[in-house]
Structure 1
C-alpha cells in the first residue's frame, strides 16, 4: 500500500440496555386486600384462602427464569460474539460469514454507536436486521477532509493510481485515505471514511453472550 511520508496536519473537524418489565399481577382476587374483608367463594373439596407455598415456589421460578434470561441478554459489559453482513442498499460491503465471527464488549465503544445501541437486549441465537442511519454510523461527509498534497510527500508517487488507498499518520494516529485525483504536481486524498454519509444495514446473528 502506498505511504505518505511525514505527518499530516490535524483535520479541522473533531471526532439502551433493555430493561425487564415488572410482571407482578397485583392482588389475587381470592384473597383480601387493601383492608377490605376477604370474599371467598365455595371451592370443591373445602379449600379456603390462598396457597402461600405454591405462590412462593412460582415466585422463585419466575425469579430464576428472569435471572437466566438476563444473563443471556446483551447488556453493558457483555462479551458478545456475532456474525454480520453489512449492506449499503443492495450491495454487500463486508460479511463474516464463512470466516471467524466478530467478538466485542458491549459498552466499550468498539462498534459504531447506532449498531451497538440496537444490539443491546438481543440474545444468543437471535437474528435481526439493524438499520443504522449515517449520523449514527460513520458520520457525514466532511468536504474539508478532501485535501491536496504535493507528490513529493509520497514515497512512490508514480505508482499511485486513482482509487488507491494510501496509509499515513495523522496527529500520531495511523489512517487510510482514498486517492481521488492525480495531477502533475499534486495528489488529492479523501480522508473521509469510505462509508461516511451512507445509511447502513447489518444482518446480525448472535452466536454467544457471556
Structure 2
C-alpha cells in the first residue's frame, strides 16, 4: 500500500530549524496520524509523503512561505490584559489566548504590564526554514466516517 488520498498515515517525525536544532519530536510517544489529502498537515509535507510506503523515511525542508509563513511585525501589538486568557503570572514567553472578533487566537507575550501586554500573534515558527524528517510507521485505508469528517479518529488522531 502506498500513500494516496484517503490513506491514514501513522508517522514519527523530528522537526529541526535551519541550524539543525531539534524543535520537536514525536519519537517519545505514540506515532502521529493524519488523513492524506484532507489538508491536515503542511502541504509541502503532504506532497513529499505522496506515494511513500510503510518503512519509508523522508526529509523535506520548507522555507517560511511553505511552512508557517514569514514573520510579520504588524502581528505584534499592545492589548488590554482583560482580553487575554491565561493561567499563572503574565510574563514574557507565556502562550496566551486572545479574545478577538473572530474567536480566540493563540499569542505569545512579549512584554507584560499591569493593565496591558505586548503580544505576538505570529505562529511561533513563523519566519523559519524548517526540516521535517518523517518515518512512515503504518498505513491503512480511512473509514467512511473519517473521510466524511476529514480527519483520523482514535489514537494519534482526533478524539470525539
Instruction: State TM-score, norm by structure 2.
Output: 0.78
Aligned residue pairs: how many?
A: 139
Residue number among 68, 73, 86 corresponding to 2:2 in the alignment: 73
The equivalent residue for 2:66 is: 136
Structure number having the greater helix percentage: 1
Residue number among 112, 115, 121 corresponding to 1:182 in the alignment: 112
When residues 186 and 78 of structure 1 are mapped into structure 2, their CA distance, relative to the original with a 3 A threshold, is: same
The answer to whether structure 1 residue 150 and structure 2 residue 80 are counterparts is yes
The answer to whether structure 1 residue 119 and structure 2 residue 49 are counterparts is yes
Q: Secondary structure at the match of 2:60?
A: strand
- For the 8 Å contact 2:8–2:36, the answer to whether it is kept is yes
When residues 76 and 186 of structure 1 are mapped into structure 2, their CA distance, relative to the original with a 3 A threshold, is: same
Bigger Rg over Cα: 1
- For the 8 Å contact 1:151–1:157, the answer to whether it is kept is no
Structure number having the greater strand percentage: 2
Structure 2 residue runs of 5 or longer lacking an equivalent are: 141-160
Residue number among 28, 31, 37 corresponding to 1:107 in the alignment: 37
The equivalent residue for 2:128 is: 198
Per-residue deviation, residues 71-108 of structure 1 (Å, max 9, x unmatched): x1111221111111111132111111020101101111
Structure 1 residue runs of 5 or longer lacking an equivalent are: 1-71
Over the aligned positions, Cα root-mean-square deviation in angstroms equals 2.1
